[in-house]
Amino acid sequence: MMELPIGPTYLEINLDTIASNTNNIKRLIGNKELMAVVKGNAYTHDMIEVSKTVLKNGASRLGVGRLEEGIYLRKAGITAPILNMCLNMEGQEREIVKYDIAQTVCDLDTVHRLSCEAAKMNKSAKIHVKIDTGMGRIGIFPEDALNFISEVSAMQNIEIEGVYTHFATPHDKEFMSYQLKLFSSVLKRLNQEGYSIPLKHCASSEAFVAMPDTWEKFDMVRIGDLIYGVYNSEEEKDKIKVNFAQTFKTTIVFLKKLGPNTSIGYDRTYITDKDTIIATLPAGYNDGYTKLYSNNGIVLVRGKKAPVVGRVCADQMMIDVTNIQDAKVGDEVVLWGRQGNETVLPVYDYIFMGDKQRVPKVFIKNNKPWKVKSIFGEKVF
C-alpha cells in the first residue's frame, strides 16, 4: 500500500469524542429523533467519517446545507434520511428526488417542480416546510403557513415529512419564547385542520440547552455544535458534557534568539522589548490559521501557552517561546485543541477556516490513529 506522507501541519479528528458527544446528547433526548448537522464538511471534521460515526451512536438523520453535500453522502453509501436545510436552485429537483434528499421549502413554485419531477420518476419528493418566526432569513410567515400547506398537500407525489423553524437569538429567552409561541400556534392550527406531519422540530444546539420546551414537545432536535464539542455559553457546560473533537497541530521548524528592538514579520507589527526566543512554525492562513490571530493568538508548546507574534503569513507564523524551557525544533505545537492539561479553543467561526486541501486529517478511533486523508488519498493504519 502506498505510504501517505503527513506534513508537519495537520488536523487530528477524534471520532471517539464525536461518538461520546452524540451518545450524551441522545441519552438526554430519549426517544426523540436526533438529526446530526454535518454541513460544511461536518464543521471541517469530514462529512463521511462523522456521518458514519454519529449514525452508529444515536443519530437517525443528517442535516446538510447544500444539495451537493447530500449527494456526496449518498454516493459514499450513506442511506440514512438527509435534510437539505437550505433552499435548492431551480433545476436541481431531479437530483433531489433521485438521491432521496428531503428538501426545505417555502415557495409553491419549488414544490410544484418537485411534484412534476417526482411524478416522472414514479417517486415521492420529501419536503420540510420552513416557518419564519423571527429569523428573517428563509421561510413562510406563520399567518401564511396553513394556506401554504393546504396547497402543497393537494400536489401529487409530495410527502410533507416535516415542519420547522429556527431561533434567531438563543441567548435571548424572551424572544425565543416569542418564536416558540408563534411556531406552536402554527402547529395547533395544522392539527385543528387535520394535518398530521411526522416531524415537528425547532431546537438547534443552543436552543436545545437553553430552553427544553423547544424540543421536549416536538419530534426531533437538530444538533451541530455540540456534536463537535463546541459550547456557545457557560450554561451549556453545566447542562451537558461534550468535548472538543478537533486538534490542529504543527511543529517547530526553526528557533532563533533575538535581542530587544527587533521586528518580527511583515510590516513590523511586533517589536521585541527584551531578549526573545522566536519559534517559526510551518503553518499559516493557507492552512486555515487566520491572519486575525496575528499578535493575539495563543498556542500550546510542551503543555504551556505561547503567544503568536507578528503577522501570520501564508505558510508560516512565529511564536514567542522565551518562557518555555527546553523548547526545541521538532516540538509539537497545538494551534487549537488540547495538549497536556491545557486547552486552547478557536473563535467559533475560525473552525471553518481549517478545512484546507493541503492539510491532512488524521482520524482517531479506539484511542489510536486509525485513518489519514490527505491530497495523496486515504490510508487506514
Catalytic residue list: 39, 266
CA distance 373 to 47: 12
Number of H helices, E strands in the chain: 11, 22
Q: Which is nearest to 337 in space by CA: 7, 13, 9? A: 13
Binding residue numbers for substrate? 137
- Name every residue whose Cβ is closer than 8 Å to that of residue 140 and which is 6 or more positions away in sequence: 106, 129, 130, 131, 132, 148
Amino acid type, 114: L
CA 130 from centre of chain: 21
DSSP conformation class of 293: G
Binding residue numbers? 137
Categorise residue 221: left if φ over 0, alpha if ψ from -120 to 50, beta otherwise: beta
Number of other CB atoms surrounding residue 274 within 10 Å: 9
Q: How many residues make up the chain in this entry?
A: 381
| Structural element, H or E, at residue 62 | strand 61-64
| Structural element, H or E, at residue 279 | strand 276-281
Evaluate whether 232 touches 348 at the Cβ level (below 8 Å).
Answer: yes
Q: Which is nearest to 225 in space by CA: 346, 136, 128, 72? A: 346
- Name every residue whose Cβ is closer than 8 Å to that of residue 220 and which is 6 or more positions away in sequence: 32, 33, 34, 35, 61, 162, 199, 200, 201
